[in-house]
Structure 1
């Protein structure tokens, strides 16, 4: 019997492996997963965990992706609980999922050129400070937090010394407060603090964040002022939900105890009892509010 050349035998073996893997991984496995995904109890997750309005059956969102509850101008709708900030695109954009990639050392703003408000860049610290101030005003609580000025920017000084890194202080600038703003600190080591002038070079200054006298545990929770790593988180902390309860209750003219009851009902625990933190799905909570206590028309 004539034997098949060794090279041809190797190619035939490789072809058989390709055919077997194509059938298993290209047909059997995908079809099996499709069938499994449509089994009762799993079909909703497979289709995106979509949520529809109980009355109108209109699609309102997904349990897995957060969304904003604001008007056409971006102002918070006071009758609804607000989600945490999002850095995904213009907010909760699944096609641009991601974080801001700004770290704890990002504390100095790039001040905008006068007349060009979009030419600057806010540091992470200023973003946190501005959000905390806005949440405080919305919820009628103290929105102050460490390293933030009363006007909602980073409390960061640029300190110039006689010998660069050492020596007496010769000049001090509040780096995140553009002129003509009044600096949050008037004097630093016997030197008058100046406001920052857009376009001026302060790169030779020592950056000195000033903590201030604000308590270490601010009233506004961390998830109210920071975006998640994905930018799509649909949940907020129970603490942030409770902070909003009084405002929502006023807007819907219902007892705050009833709103707190709905928060409790829509709070989920840690995954497997140990992973993560308890959370409140904002969309599901707002839908529960609309079912139980419809917002009155303006």
Structure 2
């Protein structure tokens, strides 16, 4: 049975090799889907099962310095990706309408291919977001939305990058996503920097709004394809997948917005905490840590709660 499975995979790999764009074959993690798929499966298993069990009887790690370095690095990396996308096409020769898959070998095309691969590779670096959650025992942050987004996006991007490394209009969502991540990781950087920076985090609520705007921009842009008189985009399936991806994540993030800011399930609630001598204490405002705070440090606690105004173990 194992021999049959190996034979089937070998035939699949041979067929895939005939489809792979030779311009991207030599990049890391681009020699086949097996390595990256195994890596992403391992990420999901570690995030949801192995990691929490390893940390069950251990104290959470305090990783503020590591998170500051990590978040600053991600701000700079995503800013560089945005710049490269702009200078290699989106800010120069692309029309923002029916931009076809580029099959040429011009220097600008190779620059676009390099930044597309760098964007893809950055998705694997972002898996550290979840590792920080696990090590800090913030399991409530590792939601379906979080894990699905971090695993599904690099997996689908491998196929797009393998077959169309310079995908024209199919790559705008990468530019938009990288721009949003500059803002997001800057927020996380301030959050991880300590209490003295908390006064600069008043715009927490708008992080989700920025993410929703991202999916609107991507969906509207890609929807042009369906209304153009003629657009000979070489792989229409990419158009359909990007549109569905944008709509799907818009709905997921909209649900988060409704739960957090309309129904108030993640907004401050009042709890009465008893004093040590048994008498009732004063009301204390507690708010569950939202998805959009991700790897920040804003008054976090080991059980995923936040006490407004003063950090305190619950």
TM-score range, shorter chain: under 0.3
Based on CA coordinates, which of the two structures has the bigger radius of gyration?
Answer: 1
TM norm structure 1: 0.25
TM norm structure 2: 0.24
Which protein has the bigger helix share? Answer: 2
Which protein has the bigger strand share? Answer: 1
- Identify which of structures 1 and 2 has the higher relative contact order when contacts are C-alpha pairs closer than 8 Å and 6+ apart: 2
